[in-house]
Amino acid sequence: MIPMDTELRPNASIDPLMQERLARLAERRTGGAGSSSSSSGSRHTTAPSAQRPASRKRHAAQGSRTAAVMMSVGVAAGLTGYFQRADAAAAADAAAASSATASVATASTAATTATATQVLATSTASSGSSGATDTAVQTATDAANTDAAIASAATVSATGLADGTYTGATDTNKWGPVQVQITVSGGVITDVTALQTPSDDGKSVRINNQAVPILVSETLAAQSADIDSVSGATYTTDSYKVSLQSAIDLAKATAQQAAA
């Protein structure tokens, strides 16, 4: 980019062809070929601003520059508004989906509790051959398979958690669904896996790639859903806690049923 007044300065480094071109430009700017100073070398000297024509513009493309500024600001504002509206719509959809998921999760939790009860009843009866028991076990198993909560084994420890693998309910926030699965061994949460995290856009993926490992390590340290939020991943943290708590509740419910 060359300053507008470059052609008015004497500059020995500019080649003759360029000087000639600059002279033509300066001639055009001052109002045409008839100008009295057009043939002299004085064109290459800086003219005092007081001698410049009053109508001369500071920028040759003043109007176009203004248009570019207005267009840029307009496009940026328009895109910002568009992103805002699109996210608001997505958040509304997510909220609706989340409430639906919550209903399913509640039903699933109840079904799982029923499973544990029936399994225990069956094992207690040892020869439980009644048709009602079979039906109940089958129904509860089907219900458990429909969603997240699959509790395996029933080794209960003092921590109140039955050994096994438990999948928490799916909690959907404005960025997408979050679902957690925990593995309990010896009454201790030994592993946490995020089965679902928001992945609709690059920003969510980047945030979750950072946040989930932190949340997992916090969970393993705390052995509960009472963990700190990860800065910059508030929504993911909140949903993670909800899903984690439901998985822990399943483990506890299974343990209580086994104890009973």
Task: By CB under 8 A, name the binding residues for other proteins.
Answer: 1-4, 6, 13-14, 25, 28-29, 59-62, 64-65, 68-69, 72, 75-80, 83-84, 87, 201-203, 206-207, 209-210, 231-234
Residue 38, CB half-sphere, CA atoms under 13 Å: how many? 13
Round to whole Å and give the CA distance between 246 and 200: 24
Q: How far is the CB of 126 from other proteins (least distance, A)?
A: 56
Residue 176: CB atoms within 10 A of its CB come to: 20
Of 11, 31, 55, 68, nearest to 2 (Cα)?
11
Q: How far is the CB of 232 from other proteins (least distance, A)?
A: 4
Report the residue number, 201 or 228, with the smaller CB distance to other proteins.
201
Report the residue number, 229 or 245, with the smaller CB distance to other proteins.
229
3-class DSSP assignment, residue 183:
strand
Report the residue number, 73 or 100, with the smaller CB distance to other proteins.
73
Q: What SS3 string covers 137-176?
A: HHHHHHHHHHCCCCCCCCCECCCCCECEEEECCCEEECCE
Q: Torsions phi, psi of 176, nearest 5?
A: 145, 180
CA distances in angstroms from 15 to 37, 59, 187, 248, listed in the order given: 21, 25, 85, 80
Q: How far is the CB of 114 from other proteins (least distance, A)?
A: 41
Report the residue number, 25 or 120, with the smaller CB distance to other proteins.
25
Look-up: residue for tokens 């000297």? 45
Q: How far is the CB of 21 from other proteins (least distance, A)?
A: 8
Report the residue number, 68 or 153, with the smaller CB distance to other proteins.
68
Q: How far is the CB of 242 from other proteins (least distance, A)?
A: 19
**Tokens representing residue 38 in the block:** 């057009």
Report the residue number, 26 or 162, with the smaller CB distance to other proteins.
26
Q: How far is the CB of 32 from other proteins (least distance, A)?
A: 13
